[in-house]
Structure 1
Amino acid sequence: MILINGQWQGGGNKDTFQAAQILKDHLSRSNPVVTAPVCTNEDLIEKERIIGLDELTQQIQAALQILQKEKPTHLMTVGGGCDADTASLAYMNALYQGDLTVIWMDAHGDINSPNESDSHLYYGMPIRALLGECPPISDLLPLPLQPEQLILFGCRDLDQTEKNYISENQITLIPVLEDPGELEKQLTDLIQTKKNRHLYIHLDLDVLDPHEFPHTPLPAPGTGFSAEAILSALHSLKQHNDLVGTGVFEFKYTGSIPAFLKNALDILCV
């Protein structure tokens, strides 16, 4: 199943909503897609230290209801902001009863609590919600993730609070590596240590080097992964694991869909 979820309020920028519609048109030419409802109201109110909380909770509940009705065992979610993966990943983790390793490919940590966030934007909090530590959003989600299920991949722009949380909870972190062969071996070894039977890949496009792939609303400073390294890693991960869930997020449309993104969508369609 392909779920189009243009949730944009987490970053407060409609670019990702518009990009989701473009990707929906592209994917629906050869695949059936299901679209999650998304509010377009731009007058977002902050509640409980989260901007747009009302819209976010409504949309996450709606996406969960779609998934619980359709009951997919394999799922690709296309956003939208990175936080548009909240309902999808929560659903898949519950479906597989926590027997799931999650590779979160993102230049940012996405792991602040509402109290730790300076911006109060939810796109900096989705992992914390999935871990059950971001009420009231986490209260909507079935079966929280455990820190040992996570592999944070390519983070290069972390807040100090995120660094502290990652260290205190012993969350696996893979820095940017230049050698694709080394990367694939490291991923393989780490997945084996997790001892879960199923795999979920979350791809935030800002994990790529911004000089090679600038098509994101919030490029991170520093050197990211090359497109070649990411595509090679995705292909290897799909080939050697039971890949049950994927997501692609944070695309900014600037007139065309880059070849890298088309290739990534082809690989990640499960």
Structure 2
Amino acid sequence: MRKDITIIGVPLDLGAGRRGVDMGPSAIRYANMKERLEKSGYNVIDIGNLNVPTPETYRIENEKLKYLREVKMVNDELARKVSKVMKEERFPLVLGGDHSIAIGTLAGIADLKNNFGVIWFDAHGDLNTPDTSPSGNIHGMPMAVSLGYGHPDLVNIMSFSPKIKPENIVIIGARDLDKGEREFIRDRGIKVYTMHEIDRLGMARVMEEAISFLKMNADGVHLSLDLDALDPNDAPGVGTPVAGGISYREGHLAMEMLAEADILISAEFVEVNPILDQRNKTAEVAVGLMASAFGEKLL
């Protein structure tokens, strides 16, 4: 993992069904993110937030792809920023915002890496398309978009598609999959560890298998962590909470094992919603997980 980190804030909530995650980057910064990373020996530059439109100034033109034009605009800029950071040989650390920002993050990485892997911590698959999405919210589509399925305006960001390969993906913590997503996963053989597998095997074995799988197939790994992967008791401030998630300790173990494997080339932490939070608890959890992923140790 590179010792030089560039933080990019993306205060976007147009891809989600509830307001509030636009304040996520500020909440995470307030939880002393930069200071924690610097204490672990990293050189950290925070370039601030991208300019993001607010829903009050735009209207929904397509109920199956809400705020398509605005989400595309933000992800276009994010993809260019991530690509630039990686060309500078720095580690891009992206703060969301809703999970639709992964469209831009993955596009920026793919501009330089054509065989990278993705570990996707999420209660959901985010593998919907406009035809299968029950809500039309684009934060439920970024994985499908990055695989080349969805609206051309999103699929073709950075002028190429797909950005990732199905055999280079591991989803961890899933417990709420739509019918279309389940079919998508089965048809393309995507590796998924649901909460059933985590309960049965334990997080240590799940991570050992995931890391071994990606080391064998991929050239570096992107970490995409949606805070709703965790149980709502540990991370209440998320827009789409689902009971029965990853525990606080399981999350830290997963991040510690990623740090030990030394395979990360980029990361994003998304879906922190301060409006729904308790005394910034979820942002503090996000920063704690982040610190573990970047190698913070007790001894």
Residues 140-198 of structure 1, C-alpha deviations (whole Å, 9 max, x = no match): 244421111111111110001100010001111112213233223222332244x2130
Match of 1:36 among 38, 41, 50: 50
Gap regions ≥5 residues in structure 1: none
Query: Is the 1:128–1:134 contact (alpha carbons within 8 Å) kept by the matching residues of 2?
Result: yes
Query: Is the 2:24–2:95 contact (alpha carbons within 8 Å) kept by the matching residues of 1?
Result: no
Which amino acid is the alignment partner of residue 222 of structure 2? Answer: Y
Partner of 2:12: 7
CA distance in structure 2 between the aligned counterparts of 1:81 and 1:267, rounded to whole angstroms: 22
Residue 14 of structure 1: CA displacement? 2.9
Question: Quick check: 1:66 aligned with 2:71?
Answer: no
Residue 209 of structure 1: CA displacement? 1.3
Match of 1:127 among 103, 119, 143: 143
- What is the Cα-based RMSD across aligned positions, in Å? 2.1
Query: Is the 1:246–1:268 contact (alpha carbons within 8 Å) kept by the matching residues of 2?
Result: no
Match of 2:183 among 142, 164, 170: 164
Residue 46 of structure 1: CA displacement? 2.9
Partner of 2:95: 78
Match of 2:171 among 152, 161, 164: 152
User: SS of the counterpart of 2:111?
Assistant: helix
Question: Quick check: 1:104 aligned with 2:120?
Answer: yes
User: SS of the counterpart of 1:95?
Assistant: coil
CA distance in structure 2 between the aligned counterparts of 1:103 and 1:61, rounded to whole angstroms: 22
The 5 A counterparts of 1:160-239 are 160-176=179-195, 177-178=198-199, 179-193=202-216, 195-221=217-243, 223-239=244-260
Identity %: 23
Query: Is the 2:83–2:111 contact (alpha carbons within 8 Å) kept by the matching residues of 1?
Result: no
Q: TM-score, normalised by structure 2?
A: 0.82
Residue 64 of structure 1: CA displacement? 2.2
Q: TM-score, normalised by structure 1?
A: 0.90
User: SS of the counterpart of 1:151?
Assistant: strand
CA distance in structure 1 between the aligned counterparts of 2:126 and 2:234, rounded to whole angstroms: 23
CA distance in structure 2 between the aligned counterparts of 1:137 and 1:6, rounded to whole angstroms: 18
Aligned length: 267
CA distance in structure 2 between the aligned counterparts of 1:19 and 1:83, rounded to whole angstroms: 14
Query: Is the 1:77–1:85 contact (alpha carbons within 8 Å) kept by the matching residues of 2?
Result: no
Which amino acid is the alignment partner of residue 11 of structure 2? Answer: G
CA distance in structure 2 between the aligned counterparts of 1:37 and 1:238, rounded to whole angstroms: 31
CA distance in structure 2 between the aligned counterparts of 1:188 and 1:41, rounded to whole angstroms: 39
Residue 5 of structure 1: CA displacement? 0.9
Q: Which shows bigger deviation, 84-93 or 61-70? A: 61-70
Q: 1:180 to 1:260 in 2, by over 3 A?
A: same
User: SS of the counterpart of 2:55?
Assistant: coil
Query: Is the 1:6–1:20 contact (alpha carbons within 8 Å) kept by the matching residues of 2?
Result: yes
CA distance in structure 2 between the aligned counterparts of 1:154 and 1:133, rounded to whole angstroms: 23
Q: 1:256 to 1:198 in 2, by over 3 A?
A: same
Q: 1:249 to 1:166 in 2, by over 3 A?
A: same
User: SS of the counterpart of 1:32?
Assistant: strand
